[in-house]
A and B are shown apart, each in its own frame.
Chain A
Amino acid sequence: MKSEDFELISGLLKQRSGLILPKDKVYLLESRLTPIAHRRGLDSLDELVSEVRLKRKEDLLTEITEAMTTNESFFFRDNKPFDLFKDSVLPQLLESRASRKKIRIWCAAASTGQEPYSLAIILKELSAKLVGWNIEIIGTDISQKVLDKAKMGLFSQFEVQRGLPIQLLIKYFNQVGELWQISEDIRNMVSYRKYNLLDPYTLLGSFDVIFCRNVLIYFDQQTKTEVLEKMRKLLPNDGTLFLGAAETVLGITDKFKPVQGQRGLYSTADASMEVIGKLRAV
């Protein structure tokens, strides 16, 4: 690929999704965009790039942006954040929100749904304790394709074997041919919307917990800061943030603080000692 072509596409990606594509990942562009060229009846990636350069058609740019996202996800990814959610974050919220009985959770890079569905399963397992509570889980992603898959709740045999205990497969999934579909009552606990993390967060309302896992790794420092600072505005002072195992707020923003001893969990910088104490308790 010519270097000016690489510059054009990588610039486009950075602008549209925040993705930083290093030069040594040019093979990724080739492997993911060549099929798009062929689908559109073009002979090569070069032709696709000319098309981009000349016409800048919105649907093509969207297709390219979506094709370059990495959507890997698994149920209960890394386990620990989900244990922390169940044992520290949720009990804290059940106490502090006892009069409103309403909790809102945002999975900000939901991909194919494993993360929001893991949370829904945790809540379902605790449903005896949650009678009368209204708990919303909202999953958003920049890619319509993954959201469509998430909504269907259909997973391959390979996907249901990564992170999902067999007891939960038996309890919450139905076999549909070669695939496994998560049950309707779990699906109904999550709503999905297309949302770009680079856009202003005005239409989302406020949240109590944000899962923003394994997406900041693709952004540059400035974008990370902007995203996290916008997220802070959607949280009350006792709200919490979960990041992926390779992500941190350190050196990026002082609006959040790691909760000592609880890997992946962040409180707002304005959280009271009492809240932090509760988050550290388990």
Chain B
Amino acid sequence: MKSCLVVDDSKIIRKVARRILEELDFDIQEAVDGQDALDICKNSMPDVVLLDWNMPVMNGLDFLKALRKTEGGTSPVVVFCTTENDMSHISAAISAGADEYIMKPFDREIIESKFVQVGLL
């Protein structure tokens, strides 16, 4: 079973994402902000990170940059999942090493289609 770290400051979003991803057979961990996520990753790297952008303490982009510099941090597939839906944010995320990008609102179909694209399903 593949592991997925869901990083979002909204409890509701984490819950929705968890439900979808568990149905797709992922083992889920949750983090409430970038720093929380980084601590979890340093402890054990997930296979994939579903990542919000705007969060207190450390935002998604800063997390991604820090993750990619961490030992073993290039291996997780990182999929942004955010309300930031303009080209400049998308480009910035991809340049910083994100593998895919989901613009909220999302549903099961979008998550599934994006996960297929990055070879997780």
Q: Which residues of A contact B (CB under 8 A)?
A: 74, 79, 157-158, 161-163, 165-167, 169-170, 174-175
Contact = CB atoms under 8 A, between A and B. Distances in A.
B65 interface: no
A157 B100 CA distance: 15
B10 interface: no
Interface stretch (B16-24, B36-44, B106-114): B106-114
B71 interface: no
11 contacts: A157-B85, A157-B103, A161-B114, A162-B110, A163-B113, A165-B100, A165-B117, A166-B100, A169-B90, A170-B87, A170-B90
Contacts of B6: none
Contacts of A169: 90
B94 A161 contact: no
A47 B15 CA distance: 48
A175 B103 contact: no
Contacts, number: 31
B110 A175 contact: no
A163 B117 CA distance: 8
Interface in B64-105: 85-87, 90-91, 94, 100-103
Contacts of B102: 161
B82 to A, nearest CB: 12
A166 B101 contact: yes
A84 B85 CA distance: 32
B116 interface: yes
Contacts of A74: 113
Nearest to B106: A161
A170 B91 contact: yes
A58 B103 CA distance: 42
The 3 residue pairs across chains A and B that have the minimum distance between CB atoms: A166-B101, A161-B110, A175-B87
Given A167-B94, A174-B87, 10 more contacts: A74-B113, A161-B106, A161-B113, A162-B109, A162-B110, A162-B113, A163-B113, A170-B87, A170-B90, A170-B91
Contacts of B113: 74, 161-163
Contacts of B85: 157
Contacts of A165: 100, 117
Contacts of B106: 161
A67 to B, nearest CB: 24
A166 B86 contact: no
Contacts of A158: 110
Contacts of B116: 79
Contacts of B91: 170
A270 to B, nearest CB: 36
A173 B116 CA distance: 21
Contacts of A167: 94
A92 B28 CA distance: 45
Contacts of B87: 170, 174-175
Nearest to B87: A175
Most buried by B among A79, A161, A163, A174: A161
Nearest to B79: A166
Contacts of B103: 157, 161
Contacts of A162: 109-110, 113
A163 B100 CA distance: 12
A72 to B, nearest CB: 11
B109 A166 contact: no
